[in-house]
């Protein structure tokens, strides 16, 4: 990992700001609806944050975060495609925007420092790299699970598995970021945990309401018969 550069620290903080904004908007709308939602703003903020964080991670020569953002960016774009297909009946392919954004972000981060990626790999602590990779797999895997359910539904959905994977991956990535002394990643993961816990509570409350409603409907049906 490179020493923190003021400009790139700002880039990283803006990326984390976008990620925080997506969950803040999601949180507010979910609280109003009294159930966990995934609005379209979530995906636009996700794409912005992911592209900027990919550039930041490339500058830092952080392979763990870079690979995670590449995968995440593809999933965010695919979800937007599903939304447009559901609402308008057609959508542009997500592949070309993904290739363009990935190439631009990596190029910007790569050109910002002369440190070769081989140096970053050889200097990395194997144990913390494994922990970070496992955390990143879980963290990115949450969107793979979310995308699987969304593909089946034909529109973005928000399964409870998403939030459990978010909690698990975030805890490991937070530990990894602390080992790397990276305040940008630490800040982002710390804020995320609060949102994940709240969404899990909303989902459980919604499930209880639906269960009680089903029980009342069943009781009414029996009484009527």
Q: How far apart are CA 213 and CA 198, in angstroms?
A: 23
Determine the Cα angle at 47 with ends 46 and 51, to 5°. 115
Rg (CA), the chain: 20
Determine the Cα angle at 201 with ends 20 and 167, to 5°. 55
Residue 115 CB-density burial (10 A; 0-12 exposed, 13-18 middle, 19+ buried): middle
Query: Whats the size of the chain, residue-wise?
Result: 225
Q: How confident is the model at residue 92 (pLDDT cuts 50, 70, 90)?
A: low
> Is the C-alpha dihedral spanning 14, 16, 22, 26 positive or negative?
negative
> Which pLDDT value is given to residue 119?
63
Between 29 and 118, whose confidence is greater? 29
Q: How far apart are CA 224 and CA 145, in angstroms?
A: 42
> Which pLDDT value is given to residue 56?
94
Structure tokens of 34? 């009294």
Q: How far apart are CA 56 and CA 45, in angstroms?
A: 16
Cα-based torsion angle of the residue sequence 161, 163, 168, 169 in order, rounded to the nearest 10 degrees: 100
121 pLDDT exceeds 70? no
- Percent of the chain predicted with pLDDT > 90: 30
Between 91 and 151, whose confidence is greater? 151
Per-residue pLDDT reduced to its tens digit, 5-61: 889 999 999 999 999 898 888 888 888 887 777 788 889 999 999 999 999 999 988
List helix spans (H) across 34-62. 40-59
Q: How far apart are CA 124 and CA 121, in angstroms?
A: 5
């Amino acid at each position: 990992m490179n020493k923190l550069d003021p400009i790139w620290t700002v880039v990283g903080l803006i990326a984390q700001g976008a990620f925080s904004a997506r969950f803040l908007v999601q949180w507010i709308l979910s609280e109003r609806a009294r159930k966990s939602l995934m609005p379209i703003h979530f995906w636009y903020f996700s794409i912005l944050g992911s592209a900027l964080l990919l550039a930041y991670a490339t500058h830092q020569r952080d392979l763990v975060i870079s690979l995670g953002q590449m995968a995440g960016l593809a999933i965010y774009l695919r979800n937007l495609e599903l939304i447009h297909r559901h609402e308008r009946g057609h959508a542009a392919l997500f592949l070309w925007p993904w290739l363009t954004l990935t190439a631009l972000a990596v190029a910007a981060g790569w050109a910002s420092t002369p440190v070769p990626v081989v140096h970053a790999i050889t200097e990395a602590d194997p144990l913390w790299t494994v922990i970070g990779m496992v955390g990143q797999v879980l963290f990115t895997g949450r969107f793979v699970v979310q995308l699987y359910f969304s593909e089946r539904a034909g529109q973005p959905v928000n399964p409870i598995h998403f939030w459990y994977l978010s909690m698990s991956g975030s805890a490991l990535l937070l530990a990894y970021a602390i080992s790397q002394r990276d305040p940008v990643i630490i800040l982002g993961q710390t804020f995320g945990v609060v949102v994940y816990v709240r969404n899990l509570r909303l989902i459980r409350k919604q499930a209880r309401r639906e269960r009680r409603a089903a029980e009342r409907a069943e009781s009414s049906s029996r009484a009527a018969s």
